[in-house]
A and B are shown apart, each in its own frame.
Chain A
Amino acid sequence: EDQVTQSPEALRLQEGESSSLNCSYTVSGLRGLFWYRQDPGKGPEFLFTLYSAGEEKEKERLKATLTKKESFLHITAPKPEDSATYLCAVLYSSASKIIFGSGTRLSIRP
């Protein structure tokens, strides 16, 4: 079954404490993997697209990496404003098939 799983479901960190979020997938014919950030009461906001294993993308304190089975979103020295739910999504098979994971709720304490 085509599936996208994110872990952990929730993560609480101290400000400045680096960590990683995981997105593992089992789909055939991966065409792209996306990371989004979602704040409460708002729509998801696009962060990164990764297309092939070994690819990396960075934006401020965030860095996304991709292997053949999973993607990691590394957050370095996070700040309270990084608190949000982070979603990953996989584009696979035909261009119209996209599956979202359930997200990781990240909370950064000052």
Chain B
Amino acid sequence: DAGITQSPRHKVTETGTPVTLRCHQTENHRYMYWYRQDPGHGLRLIHYSYGVKDTDKGEVSDGYSVSRSKTEDFLLTLESATSSQTSVYFCAISDGRLAGGGSYEQYFGPGTRLTVT
């Protein structure tokens, strides 16, 4: 199994509070991703990173920010949590190369279940 951990695994928070989710990898992969998974929507990309301090938006980035100060850590912050952000959040990593034995195939963490009341 790819070395990816997410913390916390479960969190309940109140509307309006800030929340930070952490993803940690031990694979030294260049790319890291944050997704949310909701019934009927599948996995949707929130933000991704292609290197330390290099990040970009995905399709559902509003209300979320990210930071990557070290190769192994990728943080997702909900600045002011809303009930619509109740979801399961997955972190993923990939090597990010199509040739030379690398690939864009992604390896996922175990997920964080976030409930905003």
Q: How many residues of A contact B (CB 8 A)?
A: 22
A-facing mask of B22-59, CB < 8 A → 1, else 0?
00000000010001000011111100101000001000
Flag if A44 contacts B104 (CB, 8 Å): no
Using A31-B98, A87-B42, A102-B40 as known contacts, say yes or no to A49 and B56 having CB atoms under 8 A apart. Answer: no
Give 25 pairs: A residue, B residue, CB < 8 Å, sorted on A: A31-B98, A31-B104, A32-B98, A32-B103, A32-B104, A34-B105, A36-B108, A43-B90, A43-B111, A44-B43, A46-B106, A46-B107, A51-B98, A87-B43, A89-B43, A91-B104, A95-B104, A96-B31, A96-B48, A96-B50, A98-B104, A98-B106, A100-B35, A102-B40, A102-B42
Binding site for B on A (CB under 8 A): 31-32, 34, 36, 41-46, 49, 51, 87, 89, 91, 95-96, 98, 100-103
